[in-house]
Amino acid sequence: MFFENIKLAVSSLFANKLRTFLTMLGIIIGITSVIAIKTVGNAMTDSVQEQMSAFGVNNVSISMYPDFNNTEVSNMDYDSIPKEQFTQEMLQDMLKTYSSQITALSVEQFLSSSKVVPDPDVPEVYANIDIDGVNSGYFTAENITMIDGKIFDKNAFENGSFQAIVSDFFVNNLYGGDTKKALGKQVDVTVNDETTETYTIVGVYRYDVSKMGIGEGTATKDVSTNFFVPYKNAVDQQPERQKLGITNFTLVTSAGTDTMAFADDVKQFLTDRLQENTLYTVDAFSMQSMVEESKKTMDSLTLAITAIAAIALLVGGIGVMNIMTVSITERTREIGTRKALGAQNSAIRGQFITEAVILCLVGGLFGMIDGIIVGYVACHFMGYVAKVPLSSVLIAFGFSTAIGVFFGYYPASKAARMDPIEALRYE
Amino acid sequence: MRNDNAGWTGNSIIHLEGITKSFYLGTDHELEVLHGIGLEVNDGEFVSIVGESGSGKSTLMNIIGLLDHATSGRYFMEGVDISAVRESALCTIRNRQIGFVFQTYNLIPRTSAQKNVEMPMLYAGVRPQERAERAMALLQMVGMEDRAKHNPDELSGGQRQRVAIARAMANDPAIILADEPTGALDSRTGRSVMDLFHRLHEEEGKTIILITHSKPLAEETDRILTLIDGRITREQQGPFRAHGVPAPDSETLDSDPV
Ligand SMILES: Nc1ncnc2c1ncn2[C@@H]1O[C@H](COP(=O)(O)OP(=O)(O)OP(=O)(O)O)[C@@H](O)[C@H]1O
Ligand SMILES: [Mg+2]
């Protein structure tokens, strides 16, 4: 009976292809938007999660910059804005005040990108690097895993020694993956295409592909990995930077700290310390706040598109109801005949509900395909990696079936309740 | 569930007593179309109903076929008091006990002859394999086996009516009700359809009630009932009675025209 109903439904839908298609449009549009939202939403969530794990859930990043909301600042020429920095004294005070919440303070100073070619006669052996000056807290904040050797010692940090910690990619490229061979090696590095400095390798860390990502189309060999040097070393080579001092850093909070509240506290603390300089503002930013922020944007976006989808589905559903009513009126004699042949009301109802459901399911199938395409295109333009959620399929079929049953029920019941005589006499 | 109601005595398959039917046109305008019909049809009888257009033949047939309810009166089918039967059970009786043949064929569109014949069996819950086999056998009986896969719009009127008769026979019902089955056919095609009814009557032993406007066709049946203005005014024995079952309340009035 069930299969007979399906066959019947399909043949009657095929008999009116254009009408069937037009009726499906609402459902197609509705399901398309639902699936597209799901796809984009999931991609956004994934991307946020990725950033979150890259940044570290417990980290609070703090920076200061000229307050452009201040008209005094916005009217000034950028270079003429007096420089400001977090002084050693301010930082020490902060660490003391929040000693129970802070486990590490991380600073970073980029120096230069470069290409290391140990032997000019063998140009195919090389490694791309980004020279990055870091302090000891950086390794905690970024959760760097050491494979071999060790982090710079206290002296190296304080003196800004020419020591380096390189990635396993670097070792693969230059030393065939043998970290023991790499340790203690001296490498000549051209800094800012000007000077050449010699660094001694003291450690090897694991390059986290998922964290840093590999640019599209870049061969593993060409990936530019961080070439860590002591913070002071990087600063010493950039005298103009030295003057600027520290304007941003990252704090690693102890487990269980409410990072959002902590970020607010630290921000207030540092703002108070900057009192005399109203031209600058301090920003403290936790992963949690970023998550909240992106959640808010996503929620409002989802809400807007969901509303559109809901309207489309509602309109689609009403369309289905309308066409079922028309179809049932057209087939009044058929219904009368079926009743004369002994069809129970439930059989007639089942037949037309099946028809409505099939109509919606086919619409849902098209909508699903469209939605996946739209989702992919949207993700592409928004710079996310699209992943079709499996739930899409379930949503498409679930919604379609529900709409079919809901909007098909009334017309189908009308058909089921028809008086057989009147139906047979219908002209 | 045989009822032991007073009034029903015999072994007739259809027993009507004082059946009236009124249609309500507007709020209090009532039109009585049947005025106290009494009728007995025996098992295996071939009865024809004749009468002018509008005399109530179809209305009576619809009541007999359980498609409509009488306004008053009593109806027993195979001893069962129909007024006591639930709607869904009426569907089942229509499905198993009654085969309808309509003037306008009423085949289901976009559905092959075979599927049309299978329809009553589908509603009876017969398995697909068995349905198909029986449908083919019935189509063979009416000489339509080579058109089994054709849709109704690919068949002529006579062919459609043959398929409709095969469909009426699907669940091997005891009663065949045919409302002007030859009304839309030319006399030669009508003749062959009529021959089919005779075969169902003689070979299958079906009880048949036939409404017709054709006097010659009516005269081939066991008994002719004439309906005038909602009353059975006359019952005649037909000249070619096949079974010789005497109609309980019949009076022989051969000389009168139908
Ligand atoms: N649903 C209805 N509502 C109102 N009046 C009806 C209805 N059905 C039938 N009638 C009336 O009942 C009367 C009998 O109709 P019926 O169809 O039984 O006649 P008939 O004998 O079958 O005629 P014909 O030979 O033309 O088919 C007619 O006057 C008709 O107008
Ligand atoms: Mg009639």
| pLDDT tens digits, B177-235 | 999 999 999 999 999 999 999 999 999 999 999 999 999 999 999 999 999 999 999 99
Q: Is the dihedral of CA A47, A49, A53, A56 positive or negative?
A: positive
pLDDT tens column, A267-322: 999 988 887 677 888 888 887 777 777 778 878 877 888 888 888 889 999 999 99
Which ranges constitute the DSSP H helices of chain B? 57-64, 87-97, 113-124, 128-141, 157-168, 187-203, 215-219
Higher pLDDT, B240 or A427: A427
Residue B132 near chain A (CB below 8 Å): no
The pLDDT value recorded for residue B14 is 96
Mean pLDDT in residue range A171-189: 92
Mean pLDDT in residue range B28-43: 93
Joined tokens for residue A202: 């003291």
Mean pLDDT in residue range A220-240: 89
Task: Report which protein residue has its CA nearest ligand 1's atom 4.
Answer: B23
The pLDDT value recorded for residue A397 is 87
**ipTM given for this complex:** 0.89
Q: Residues B169, B118: contact at Cβ < 8 Å?
A: no
Instruction: For residue A122, give every residue at least 6 positions away whose Cβ sits within 8 Å of its Cβ, in sequence order, or none.
Output: none
Measure B59 CA to ligand 1 centroid, in angstroms: 6
Q: Report the relative pairing of strands B175-179 and B207-211 from DSSP bridges.
A: parallel
Collapsing DSSP to helix, strand or coil, A335 comes out as helix
DSSP secondary structure letter of residue A82: P
Residue list, ligand 1 pocket, CB within 6 Å: B 23, 31, 33, 51, 53-59
Burial (CB count within 10 angstroms: exposed 0-12, middle 13-18, buried 19+), residue B20: middle
Chain A partners of B68 at a C-beta cutoff of 8 Å? 420-421
What one-letter code names the amino acid at A3? F
The pLDDT value recorded for residue A120 is 87
**Local confidence band at A89 (pLDDT 50, 70, 90 cut-offs):** confident
The pLDDT value recorded for residue B244 is 44
Measure B56 CA to ligand 1 centroid, in angstroms: 6
Mean pLDDT in residue range A364-368: 93
Mean pLDDT in residue range A27-40: 88
Domains of chain B by start residue, with CATH: 44-66+86-252 (3.40.50.300)
Q: Is the pLDDT confidence value at A64 over 90?
A: no
Instruction: Give the DSSP H/E element, type plus range, for residue A113.
Output: strand A108-116
Higher pLDDT, A50 or A142: A142
Residue A424 near chain B (CB below 8 Å): yes
Q: Is the pLDDT confidence value at A215 over 60?
A: no
The pLDDT value recorded for residue B255 is 39
The pLDDT value recorded for residue B252 is 42
The pLDDT value recorded for residue A66 is 84
The pLDDT value recorded for residue A55 is 67
- Mean pLDDT of chain A, nearest integer: 87
CA distance B217 to B239: 11
Burial (CB count within 10 angstroms: exposed 0-12, middle 13-18, buried 19+), residue B46: buried
CA distance A82 to A120: 45
Burial of B234-249, coded b for 16+ CB within 10 Å and e otherwise, reads: bbbbbeebbeebebee
- Mean pLDDT of chain B, nearest integer: 89
Q: What is the DSSP string of A207-265?
A: --HHHH---TT--GGG--EEEEEEHHHHHHT-HHHHHH-B-EEEEEEPTT--HHHHHHH
Boundaries of every domain in chain A: 2-51+295-425, 108-245
Q: Is the pLDDT confidence value at A363 over 50?
A: yes
**Local confidence band at B242 (pLDDT 50, 70, 90 cut-offs):** very low
What is the model's pTM?
Answer: 0.71
Task: Report which protein residue has its CA nearest ligand 1's atom 26.
Answer: B53
Burial (CB count within 10 angstroms: exposed 0-12, middle 13-18, buried 19+), residue A393: middle
DSSP secondary structure letter of residue A86: B
